[in-house]
Amino acid sequence: MFRLISFVVIALLVGTPADAQDKASEIDKIFDWAKPNTPGCAVAVSQHGKLVVNRAYGSADLERDVPIRPGSIFDIGSTRKQFIAAAVLLLAEEKRLSLSEDVRKTIPELPDYGHKITLNHLLTHTSGIRDWTGMLRLAGGDPDALTLILRQRGLNFAPGEEWSYSNSGYVLLTEIVARASGMSFPEFAQKRLFDPLGMKSTTYVDDMTGVVKNRALAYEEERSGWKHDMYWGNDRGGGAILSTAGDLLLWNEALTSGRLGAFVSEKLQEPSRLNNGRKLSYARGLFLETYRGAKVVWHSGGAAGYHSWLGRFPEQGLSIAVLCNSDARAATALARRVADRFLSAAGPPEPEAGPPPALTGDALLEVNGKAGLFFNEKTGEPIRLAVDRGRFRIAGGPGLVPVTLDRFRRWGAFVQFMSQDEFELRFLSPDRFELKSMEGRVTRYRRARPYAPTATDLKAFAGRYQSEEIGAFFDIAPGKDVLKGRANDAPGEGLELKPVDRDTFQLGGVTLRFRRDKAGKVVALDYSNPVVRNIKFTRLSDRIRRR
């Protein structure tokens, strides 16, 4: 009986007995979905530096019936970015780095893109460097993240012009810290961050296959049952932070009290800006937002089956860490529900982020006529407008709500890792619209034109296309009304790429746009997906292919 009770929940609460018991009961209800035979979560909460909740639910190891404990160790995913940013800032304070210096000063092998990319651009996701995670599955030779980044010969946008979440910037930053400090990043993090702050259960690892005591394994649920779901090897992108919920609260307390020093603490939480002066809700490794009218400084993380949320409400002295070992529930949503139990003096609880209101009648007929695929008139970047269960939205992005029959605004506080823009979308005609950003920049889009290539047309695209940037190649062959595409000699006939515009084909979020020379011969293609733009693949001649 005791074993079963401890398996379901292991708890430690500090505070007045009555208050502790009340909070324990409320927190238990939030996590009552986690059972002895399912993955679960660890949650820790502190108020004004005092630990008030440290609880655990579910299983850390389904094969061996090991429960998650308050001291269980999790991969915190991208929550680690604030630690990488802090390491850079420590070296900047010591004048061994400068936030305004060119990244190529420390990493000269990074290509010259014709623009100066600074350390600050990397820290704030404004560098324009393509996110390596959007290229890994296509890259040949199973390269590590740094190698793949260094191969790139183009940017998504000019540095400082846009905000786009890029894991590549933080891979480069770990390498910069190592070169500037003369230590490996794991060693630097241990000596300069974890040890001084008493984070005894926290490590930065670059080899996920090593044995880690008390580590909770991560899982994904499939029809046949639970499966292991963890990143190993090159999938991890330069390493990971393994930590406990309690240790992460020590980190939050260090930021609150300024234990890292005024410069580091302030810069970590200073809003970043674009070249046009627009202030963003992202600082350096941290989001800066509000919840129920209260300021919250936070970051979430996902690494295969691991999901985490770490945040603090400075004005309320509240700090929360939620670490989970499956995606059975979203850590961010769970953290908000925990916060609701402690924010009674703040505004009313906010509803869960959801879709925009469903449209009916004439309004629904109107947006149905506006749905479809559109292309940026200057860059060719695609955007799809869709109607799903009566709701108008950008496919894969935020919902849209009507202001008039031809004007729409972005729905709610949608956090999209591709952009932090508030915007308005205005139709100029059924086939053209303009997207106006919050500072007034206008981008025009035109509807995809019907394209039905003949069998002869499709044959003109056939061949092998190679990219030196990612060490990959495509074999393109004609199919029935479609192209068949195979990457890197993958087995089978290839995936079907449907024509969507002249010389343009799509499969899901992947777009292939073929290029022609002056004589009209197809000589190359540009590959794009939601996080990388226009990777060039050059068509190989028959003579070269026969060698």
Closest alpha carbon to 67 in 55, 79, 58, 80: 58
Pull the structure tokens for residue 497.
């790429």
Q: And the tokens for 279?
A: 């202030």
CA distance 48 to 14: 13
Under 8 Å between Cβ of 118 and 107: no
Cβ contacts of 338 within 8 Å, gap of 6 or more: 27, 30, 43, 45, 53, 320, 322
The tokens for 393 are 């939205």
**Which domains does the chain possess?**
77-340 (3.40.710.10), 361-447 (2.40.128), 455-546 (2.40.128.50)
DSSP state of 37: T
**Are the C-beta atoms of 539 and 524 separated by less than 8 Å?**
yes
Number of helices (H), then strands (E), belonging to the chain: the values are 13, 30
Rounded to 10°, the helix 167-181/81-93 angle is 40
Round to whole Å and give the CA distance between 202 and 508. 39
Name the helix (H) or strand (E) containing 287.
Answer: strand 287-291
Decide: 488 and 472 in contact? Cβ < 8 Å.
yes
Q: What H or E segment, with its residue span, contains residue 221?
A: strand 219-222
Per-residue pLDDT reduced to its tens digit, 59-113: 999 999 999 999 999 999 999 999 999 999 999 999 999 999 999 999 999 999 9
pLDDT (tens place) for every residue of the chain, 547 residues total: 333 333 333 343 344 445 656 787 899 999 999 999 999 999 999 999 999 999 999 999 999 999 999 999 999 999 999 999 999 999 999 999 999 999 999 999 999 999 999 999 999 999 999 999 888 878 876 788 999 999 999 999 999 998 989 999 999 999 999 999 999 999 999 999 999 999 999 999 988 888 999 999 999 999 999 999 998 876 677 799 999 999 999 999 999 999 999 999 999 999 999 998 888 999 999 999 999 889 999 999 999 999 999 999 999 999 999 999 998 888 999 999 999 999 976 666 555 555 678 888 888 999 999 999 999 998 888 999 999 889 998 887 788 989 998 999 887 543 433 345 678 999 999 999 999 877 678 899 999 999 999 999 999 999 999 998 888 999 999 999 999 999 998 888 889 999 999 999 999 889 999 999 999 999 999 999 888 999 999 999 754 444 4
Closest CA to 66 of 3, 13, 1, 2: 3
The predicted pLDDT at position 174 comes to 97
Give the DSSP letter string of 61-100: ETTTTEEP-TT-BEE-GGGGHHHHHHHHHHHHHTTSS-TT
State pTM to two decimals.
0.84
Distance CA 57, CA 28 (A): 9
How far apart, in whole angstroms, are the C-alpha atoms of residue 494 and residue 193? 49
What is the per-residue pLDDT for 10?
A: 38
CA distances from 523 to 249, 269, 489, 514, 541 (A): 55, 48, 20, 8, 9
pLDDT at site 330? 87
The tokens of 277 are what?
């002066």
* C-alpha triplet 63, 64, 65: angle, nearest 5°: 100
Can you list the positions of beta strands (E) in 494-544?
A: 495-501, 504-507, 510-516, 522-529, 532-539
What are the tens digits of pLDDT across the range 367-411? 999 999 999 998 888 999 999 889 998 887 788 989 998 999 887
